[in-house]
Amino acid sequence: MLTDEFRYKILKLVQEKPDISQRELAKALGISLGKANFCLKSLIDVGLLKVSNFRNSKNKLAYMYVLTPKGIEEKAGITMRFLKYKMQEYENLQSEIEELRGAVGELANEEKK
């Protein structure tokens, strides 16, 4: 099962560069070529992406990935969920940083005594 993070990143990359190769996608995501292939097939199977061959390409194995209307809608939803998740993560990190600063301050005060 694809996480929202991977779905978001794949849909974003494909929207930005429809002619992205699976190898380029795998490298950008830091995953294996096989996993990139699996992820793309999964998104195609659920109707978020469609794929077509380049008609005038010298390389007849080249494909173009296009977000479907359902894919565009899903990307918007994923983007919102991903943003909320990252904002919560950011807030948690800020709280942790403040706690650590407080602990360091207390230690510094104890050493001065």
Please, what are the averages of pLDDT over each run of 10 residues along the chain (113 residues)? 84 92 94 93 93 64 83 90 91 95 86 75
Percent composition of the chain: helix, strand, coil (DSSP 3-state, to 5): 70, 10, 20
Rounded CA gap, 66 and 25, in Å? 14
The position carrying tokens 């994923």 is: 78
Name the residue type at position 8: Y
pLDDT of residue 12: 93
- pLDDT recorded at residue 108: 81
Q: Is the pTM of this model over 0.85?
A: no
Q: What does each C-alpha distance from 31 to 10, 27, 63 come to in angstroms?
A: 12, 6, 20
Q: What is the pLDDT of residue 9?
A: 92
Task: Tell me which H or E stretch contains 22.
Answer: helix 22-29
CA distances 45 to 73, 82, 93, 99, Å, are 16, 22, 37, 46
Structural domains in the chain, CATH included, are 4-82 (1.10.10.10)
Q: Can you give the pLDDT at residue 28?
A: 96
